């Protein structure tokens, strides 16, 4: 399921992460736009109020200092918006003369609006933290004059942005909540969609693996194959392919079985007449040599036919074991003794590591196990005989018996090791063979509950090591 899990991972990385980033950017843009709108509205209101108040003083207050100060004092005391705004009048040096809050007289605001208004003699706005209280405020300052036009100081409106900030937070919070709901909806629908892909893909993958492992005819579940989308089409195609392979495999098995049976009769006749001719003392030497060659090739062909018959029995389920309690050491040593003389004729030393180790009896089919040992020894001589030596050993290890057969030839190319037990696979070797001997051996060992391992030796001396693990 790693690959299908990768689909979820890629969807999360490629889609969800991008959506989250876009959502964060959108929320940030909304927060910026809302705060800008709120602050812009408050600023416009304060600037408009300051301008209208400054115009009132310039148009209606006479050019008398006492009259001016009395007017600003009266104006601040009667200011009817003091619950949400603070109105201040400052002198030409920036010191507060009077305030609607009545507590700030004699102090100097340290915000940028006062400094800007004094330097430029125009309306200036400050938004930020009050240096004195730390409160988030907006302050607007502008010049104020007598009716004669003489600028005598500044007028300043100050308001807290606490309520505005709260409204902005509410708007942003609602936006975030809405976005979270949308993301959850996208996540739910997306995961449902991914699940609708991952589940059938996983089923298709597992079924394909079973088919690749030899389970020809295996079918993907009907609920996946009945879909009218691309996945359903793929499932139907794989099911059809599996059926066709199964039918082809059945035809091949029947053909092999039929041909093998047909070949046995003439081969038996050839072998019989060859033996008869070989016993004739009047046969000249050249004819005698030809008959010996004929019998040798007949024996090889008969062995190939037997392998094909074994393979066809395995394919169609007719391959059976005759299990009994067996002394596997005796079976192994008989096989070595029988095969050793032949190897000596070919110049190959068969080195058997005999030990006093107690090898327990196991339940097995002795004839089938002898077949396995003979086949492995034959392969060792055929593919590793140039090493001039074959090593054999048997050990008991806890709950299993281990048989080791090793040659000292060139070994097996690393890329061919996983394939050597597959039927009809011969690899890059030029040696004769059908390519099904090891497949039959593995089937026999597996039916005994064991494991057949093939690997290259790691001691630097070369060669291939075949290990048979059989449970006690």
Distance from C-alpha of 371 to C-alpha of 365, rounded to nearest angstrom: 10
Residues 346, 385 contacting (CB under 8 angstroms): yes
Chain CA centroid to CA 459, Å: 36
pTM: 0.49
Tell the residue number behind the tokens 């392979």, with chain if given.
245
> What is the pLDDT at residue 394?
92
Supply the pLDDT for residue 4: 47
What pLDDT is recorded for position 6? 67
Name the phi and psi angles at 247, rounded to 5: -65, -40
Per the DSSP assignment, residues forming a β-bridge with 271 are: none
Tokens of 222: 């009907």
Exposure on the CB side of residue 137, measured as CA atoms within 13 A = 23
- Residue 370: in which H helix or E strand, if any? helix 366-384
> 404 in helix, strand or coil?
strand
Kindly compute the dihedral angle of the four CA atoms of residues 78, 81, 86, 90, in this order, to the nearest 10 degrees: -40
Please say whether the dihedral angle defined by the alpha carbons of residues 33, 37, 39 and 43, taken in this order, is positive or negative: positive
Structure tokens at 219: 């079918």
Angle at the Cα of 328 from the Cα atoms of 454 and 395, rounded to 5 degrees: 55
Query: How far is residue 434's CA from residue 305's CA, in Å, rounded to a whole number?
Result: 10
Structure tokens at 389: 């030596």
Tokens in use for 67?
């009259």
Q: Give me the CATH topology for the region 324-471.
A: Heat Shock Protein 90 (3.30.565)
Please give the radius of gyration of the chain, using alpha carbons only, rounded to the nearest integer.
49
Distance CA 269, CA 48 (A): 123
Answer for the pair 204, 238: CB distance below 8 angstroms, yes or no: yes
Confidence at residue 316, expressed as pLDDT on a 0 to 100 scale: 64
Alpha carbon distances (Å) from 389 to 353, 381, 437: 13, 9, 21
Distances (CA, A) of 259 to 150, 292, 346, 432: 125, 25, 32, 20
What does pLDDT average to in each consecutive run of 10 residues of the chain (472 residues)? 58 74 83 88 91 80 68 82 86 86 77 89 91 89 76 87 89 86 83 78 83 78 78 85 80 70 77 80 82 81 74 69 89 88 84 84 90 89 84 88 91 84 68 70 89 88 90 86
Instruction: Give the 3-state secondary structure of residue 100.
Output: coil
**Strands 389-397 and 349-353, how do they pair?**
parallel
**Residue 79 to residues 123, 336, 439: CA-CA distances in angstroms?**
20, 119, 103
For 67-95, b where at least 16 C-beta lie within 10 A, e where not — what string?
A: ebeebbeebbeebeeeeebbbbbbeeebb
- Beta-bridge partner residues of 396: 401
Max CA distance (Å), the chain: 161
CATH of domain 230-316: 1.10.287.130
Helix, strand or coil for residue 407? Answer: strand
Cβ contact 242:216 at 8 Å: yes
Task: Report the alpha-carbon distance of residue 26 to residue 32 in Å, rounded.
Answer: 10
Q: Domain map of the chain by residue range? A: 2-167, 230-316, 324-471
CATH of 2-167, one of 1.10.3720.10, 3.50.50.60, 3.40.50.1820, 3.30.450.20: 3.30.450.20
- Give the residue carrying structure tokens 């310039």: 58
Tokens at 451, concatenated: 């494991």
């Amino acid at each position: 399921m790693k690959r299908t899990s990768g689909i979820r991972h890629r969807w999360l990385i490629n889609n969800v992460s991008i959506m989250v980033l876009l959502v964060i950017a959108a929320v940030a843009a909304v927060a910026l736009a809302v705060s800008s709108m709120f602050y812009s509205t408050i600023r416009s209101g304060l600037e408009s109020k300051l301008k209208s108040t400054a115009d009132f003083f310039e148009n209606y207050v006479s050019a008398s200092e006492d009259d001016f100060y009395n007017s600003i004092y009266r104006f601040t005391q009667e200011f009817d918006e003091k619950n949400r705004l603070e109105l201040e009048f400052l002198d030409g040096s920036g010191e507060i003369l009077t305030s609607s809050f009545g507590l700030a007289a004699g102090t100097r605001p340290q915000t940028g609006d006062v400094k800007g208004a004094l330097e430029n003699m125009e309306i200036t706005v400050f938004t930020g933290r009050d240096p004195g209280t730390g409160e988030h405020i907006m302050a607007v300052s502008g010049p104020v004059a007598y009716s004669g036009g003489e600028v005598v100081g500044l007028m300043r409106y100050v308001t807290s942005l606490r309520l505005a900030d709260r409204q902005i937070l509410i708007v942003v919070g609602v936006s975030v909540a809405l976005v979270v709901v949308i993301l959850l909806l996208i996540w739910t629908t997306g995961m449902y969609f991914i699940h609708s892909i991952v589940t059938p893909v996983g089923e298709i993958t597992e079924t394909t693996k079973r088919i690749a492992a030899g389970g020809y005819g295996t079918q993907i579940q009907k609920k996946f194959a009945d879909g009218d989308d691309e996945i359903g089409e793929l499932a139907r195609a794989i099911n059809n392919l599996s059926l066709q392979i199964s039918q082809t495999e059945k035809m091949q098995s029947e053909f092999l079985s039929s041909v093998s049976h047909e070949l046995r009769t003439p081969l038996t006749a050839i072998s019989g007449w060859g033996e008869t001719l070989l016993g004739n003392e009047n046969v000249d030497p050249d004819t005698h040599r030809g008959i010996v060659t004929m019998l040798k090739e007949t024996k090889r062909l008969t062995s190939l036919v037997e392998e094909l018959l074994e393979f066809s029995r395995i394919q169609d389920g007719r391959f059976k074991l005759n299990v009994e309690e067996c002394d596997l050491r005796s079976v192994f040593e008989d096989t070595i003794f029988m095969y050793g003389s032949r190897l000596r004729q070919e110049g190959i030393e068969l080195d058997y590591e005999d030990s006093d180790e107690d090898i327990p009896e196991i339940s097995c089919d002795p004839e089938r196990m002898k077949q396995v040992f003979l086949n492995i020894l034959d392969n060792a001589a055929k593919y590793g005989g140039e090493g001039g030596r074959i090593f054999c050993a048997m050990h008991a290890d806890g709950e299993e018996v281990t048989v080791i057969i090793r040659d000292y030839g060139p070994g097996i190319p690393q890329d061919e090791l996983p394939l050597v037990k597959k039927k009809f696979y011969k690899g890059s070797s030029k040696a004769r063979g059908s390519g099904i001997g090891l497949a039959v051996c593995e089937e026999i060992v597996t039916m005994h509950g064991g494991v057949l391992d093939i690997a290259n030796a790691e001691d630097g001396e070369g060669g291939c090591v075949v290990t048979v693990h059989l449970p006690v």
